[in-house]
């Protein structure tokens, strides 16, 4: 038997005090009592000359000592150790993502998970070498407490954890936990989560020894999963706001969406959300200056973290585009129609005289005398340092795959598009392949330093692509993605939990950050720093940063369909063939103080029953 609060045994010093009171002779005072069964021997005594008397057998004394002993044992919280944790290392991973704020558990899933994790700490068999590590998987994986058997330290680590508005970063936490148990065959990972996480395929071949403690019992939620602001194609003086709302409930519901600009209500619209589906909504709003658009979803559900999103919207700026081509009318017309702010010029070559005069250069099957330093769309041409040699060629490559989730391929499809020939390259480290043939990527997009590049590995005139509607849509997406103003606006929109980075044009010594709850924090900045970094973005909302005389705002949002789907998972998928089921009750260290308290109550009831039985 072990004890959680052994200091309570100091109360055992009251046992001798009770005995002393029975040794002392007292002056008798007549009192009316309910029962005289246990007091008759004392009423018969008349000796009072000596201060002490001989201790005699007395049932009242024994009952009082027994009651006091049971009370001391109950306060010491005795427990018996189960076999499951003897000498083991247990790694506790507490999910602190946005879905854990759901109120289907009282007061929330996170608080219930914390309570269950603390119960596991209390059951730790410290006397037999048991140790525990506490990890919190919130905006980032954080080791709150390294391996220890000190239960007080473990409880403090769990009680100090805070839930965030970010997506689940569970994979990072499990990688850390896996390294801790790798050389400990008896170690275990205890995950306290609702399971609202993507597939963890990277752990399929690893021996995780993962115990999944499921938290949550409902899935009543609807949330904003996408929010974007674009120039209105019909009226460039206004902005088009595109919102997607996901309803994860099995029934249709009505919800209200409110749009505000810098805190001022712009428009309200009621929409009907189809069951288990995503509903788009479009708003048109005027904008006379840079500012923040905020969308708020008003509906009754169990999660509030995904009911609001904000976007920093900058006034559109003209973009000067240089098309270097031998004559591609399809491409020229697509560029001219890419947007009202496009200022297009054409040339047969790109020279040093053009450097710095254009924000975007398009090279169409032309090798320039000098490669541009700004953002670039390169078609059927590439410098030698972009791809690993050799760069070959392939005939009639079929298009087998494309990533329509990338902004460049929004509303773009490559069905029934034939390519006569293409360059054969290996996927580079600086970019991601967007369109693939079996032998080679055909479209690659990425960044090299601060230069954004889109590479198309075939001549568009030797394909059927310019004859499809997807071609001008892709060109418009490319101009928008390569526009430096778009890249600047994107840096002011981050996912909750990601770090905000802002290049510094001039040295500053201090930054003043106003966080979404209105509190202000001052952050020292090194004089030689070229970039300001703010990492405490676990709460969604608008952050405002004062850097000298320059003030900027950025927004952190959840915008995650998987996190908005708060239905607790019964199993976790570790790849295609491995699953971890939610655990049920497990053998653990059991406390016995309740039994001692009940035994004390039983002694009192027994005396009451005996008295009434004798007097009946």
The pLDDT tens digits for 380-418 are 998 878 988 888 899 999 999 999 889 899 889 999 999
Least confident of 95-109, 323-337, 560-574, 583-597: 583-597
339 vs 241, higher pLDDT? 241
CA distance 421 to 397: 7
Pairing outcome for strands 493-495 and 550-557: parallel
Q: How many CB atoms lie within 10 A of CB 435?
A: 25
| 170 class by beta-carbon count within 10 Å (0-12 exposed, 13-18 middle, 19+ buried) | buried
pLDDT the model gives residue 266: 93
Tokens 């009282």 label which residue? 106
Which of 190, 159, 179 shows the shortest CA–CA distance to 85? 190
Whether the pLDDT of residue 230 is over 90: the answer is no
CA distance 118 to 153: 11
CA distance 462 to 573: 45
Query: Do 75 and 175 touch, CB atoms closer than 8 A?
Result: no
Statement: the pTM of the whole predicted model exceeds 0.85: no
CATH class of 492-557: mainly beta
Residues ≥6 apart with Cβ < 8 Å to 509: 524, 525, 527
Tell me where in the chain the CATH 3.40.50.880 domain(s) lie: 319-489
pLDDT the model gives residue 84: 46
pLDDT the model gives residue 246: 95
What is the b/e burial string over 544-583, where b = at least 16 CB atoms within 10 angstroms of the residue's CB?
ebbbeeeebbbbbbbbbeebbbbbbbeebbbeeebebebe
Residues ≥6 apart with Cβ < 8 Å to 1: 78, 79, 80, 592
Q: What mean pLDDT do residues 285-314 have? A: 94
Which of 419, 418, 338 shows the shortest CA–CA distance to 377? 338
CA distance 574 to 591: 35
Whether the pLDDT of residue 49 is over 50: the answer is no
Least confident of 73-87, 334-348, 542-556: 73-87
Q: Which structure tokens are listed for 602?
A: 């039983």
Tell me where in the chain the CATH 2.60.40.10 domain(s) lie: 233-316, 492-557
261 vs 9, higher pLDDT? 261
pLDDT tens per residue across span 260-287: 999 999 999 999 999 999 999 999 999 9
Mean pLDDT of the chain: 85
Q: Which CATH number is 89-219+566-588 given?
A: 3.40.50.410
CA distance 265 to 285: 11
pLDDT the model gives residue 172: 87
Report the 3 state secondary structure along 5-19: CHHHHHHHHHHHHHH
Confidence of residue 46 (pLDDT cuts 50, 70, 90): very low
pLDDT the model gives residue 23: 65
pLDDT the model gives residue 98: 94
Pairing outcome for strands 222-231 and 238-247: antiparallel
pLDDT tens per residue across span 94-131: 999 999 999 999 999 999 999 999 999 988 876 667 89
What are the contacts of 463-470 at 24+ separation with CB within 8 A?
Answer: 463/417, 463/418, 463/419, 463/420, 464/416, 464/417, 464/418, 465/414, 465/417, 465/419, 466/330, 466/331, 466/334, 468/416, 468/417, 470/411, 470/412, 470/413, 470/414, 470/417
* DSSP, residue by residue, 272-317: EEPTTEEEEEEEEEE-SSSEEEEEEEE---S--TTSEEEEEEPPP-
Q: What mean pLDDT do residues 502-506 have? A: 86
* DSSP, residue by residue, 518-585: S-EEEEE--TT-SEEEE----S-EEEEEEETTEEEEEEEE---HHHH--PPPSEEESSSS-EEEBP--
CA distance 381 to 383: 7
Phi, psi of 467 (to 5 degrees): -90, 0
Q: Angle between the 593-615 and 59-76 helix axes, to the nearest 10 degrees?
A: 160
Task: Give the CATH architecture of domain 319-489.
Answer: 3-Layer(aba) Sandwich (3.40)
Whether the pLDDT of residue 85 is over 60: the answer is no
Confidence of residue 78 (pLDDT cuts 50, 70, 90): confident
pLDDT the model gives residue 63: 72
pLDDT the model gives residue 57: 63
Query: Do 306 and 98 touch, CB atoms closer than 8 A?
Result: yes
Tell me where in the chain the CATH 3.40.50.410 domain(s) lie: 89-219+566-588
Question: Does residue 54 sit in helix, strand or coil?
Answer: coil
Question: Does residue 113 sit in helix, strand or coil?
Answer: helix
Residue spans of beta strands (DSSP E) within 330-427: 342-347, 360-364, 375-379, 392-395, 401-402, 421-424
Question: Does residue 405 sit in helix, strand or coil?
Answer: coil
Share of the chain above pLDDT 70, in %: 84
Confidence of residue 590 (pLDDT cuts 50, 70, 90): low
Domain 233-316 fold is Immunoglobulin-like (2.60.40)
Confidence of residue 567 (pLDDT cuts 50, 70, 90): very high
Q: What mean pLDDT do residues 588-596 have? A: 65
Confidence of residue 573 (pLDDT cuts 50, 70, 90): confident
Least confident of 48-57, 119-128, 580-589: 48-57
pLDDT the model gives residue 546: 93
């Amino acid at each position: 038997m072990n004890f959680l609060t052994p200091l309570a045994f100091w109360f055992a010093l009251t046992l001798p005090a009770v005995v002393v009171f029975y040794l002392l002779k007292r002056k008798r005072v007549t009192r009316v009592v309910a029962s005289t069964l246990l007091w008759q021997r004392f009423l018969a005594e008349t000796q009072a000359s000596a201060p002490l008397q001989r201790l005699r057998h007395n049932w009242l004394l024994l009952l009082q000592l027994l009651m006091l002993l049971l009370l001391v044992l109950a306060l010491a919280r005795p427990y018996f150790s189960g076999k499951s944790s003897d000498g083991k290392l247990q790694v506790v991973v507490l999910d602190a993502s946005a879905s854990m704020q759901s109120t289907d558990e009282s007061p929330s899933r996170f608080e219930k998970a914390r309570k269950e994790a603390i119960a596991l700490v209390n059951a730790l068999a410290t006397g037999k070498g048991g140790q525990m590590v506490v990890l919190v998987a919130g905006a980032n994986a954080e080791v709150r407490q390294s391996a220890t058997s000190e239960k007080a330290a473990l409880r403090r680590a769990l009680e100090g954890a805070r839930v965030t508005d970010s997506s689940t970063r569970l994979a990072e936490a499990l990688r850390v936990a896996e390294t801790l148990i790798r050389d400990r065959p008896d170690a275990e990972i205890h995950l306290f989560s609702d399971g609202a996480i993507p597939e963890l395929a990277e752990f399929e071949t690893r021996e995780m020894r993962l115990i999944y403690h499921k938290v949550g019992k409902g899935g009543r939620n609807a949330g904003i999963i996408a929010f974007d602001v674009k120039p209105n194609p019909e009226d460039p003086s206004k902005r088009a706001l595109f919102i997607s709302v996901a309803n994860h409930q099995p029934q249709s519901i009505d919800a209200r969406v409110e749009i505000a600009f810098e805190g001022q209500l712009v428009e309200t619209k009621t929409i009907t959300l189809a069951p288990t589906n995503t509903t788009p909504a479009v708003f048109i709003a005027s904008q006379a200056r840079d500012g923040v658009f905020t969308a708020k979803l008003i509906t009754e559900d169990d999660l509030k973290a995904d009911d609001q999103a904000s976007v920093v919207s900058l006034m559109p700026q003209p973009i000067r585009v240089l098309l270097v081509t031998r004559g591609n009318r399809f491409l020229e017309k697509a560029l001219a129609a890419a947007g009202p702010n496009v200022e297009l010029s054409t040339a047969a070559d790109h020279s040093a005289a053009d450097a710095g005069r254009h924000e975007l250069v398009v090279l169409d099957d032309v090798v320039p005398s000098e490669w541009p330093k700004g953002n670039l769309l390169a078609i059927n041409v590439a410098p030698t340092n972009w791809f690993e040699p050799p760069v070959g060629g392939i005939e009639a490559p079929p298009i087998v795959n494309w990533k329509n989730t990338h902004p460049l391929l929004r509303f773009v499809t490559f069905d029934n598009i034939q390519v006569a020939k293409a360059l054969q390259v290996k996927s580079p480290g600086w970019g991601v392949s967007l369109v693939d043939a079996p032998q080679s990527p055909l479209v690659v997009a990425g960044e090299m330093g601060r230069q954004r590049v889109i590479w198309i590995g075939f001549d568009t005139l030797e394909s059927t692509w310019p004859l499809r509607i997807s071609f001008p849509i892709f060109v418009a997406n490319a101009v928008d993605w390569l526009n430096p103003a778009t890249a600047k606006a994107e840096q002011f929109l981050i996912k909750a939990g990601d770090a905000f980075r802002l290049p510094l044009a001039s040295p500053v010594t201090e930054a003043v950050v106003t966080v979404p709850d209105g509190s202000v924090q001052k952050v020292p900045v090194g004089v030689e720093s070229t970039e300001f970094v703010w990492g405490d973005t676990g709460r969604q909302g608008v952050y405002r940063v004062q850097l000298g005389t320059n003030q900027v705002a950025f927004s952190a949002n959840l915008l995650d369909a998987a996190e908005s789907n708060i239905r607790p998972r019964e199993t976790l998928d570790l790849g295609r063939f491995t699953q971890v089921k939610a655990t049920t009750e497990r053998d653990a260290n059991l406390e016995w103080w309740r039994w001692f308290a009940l035994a004390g109550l039983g002694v009192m009831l027994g005396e009451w029953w005996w008295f009434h039985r004798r007097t009946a």
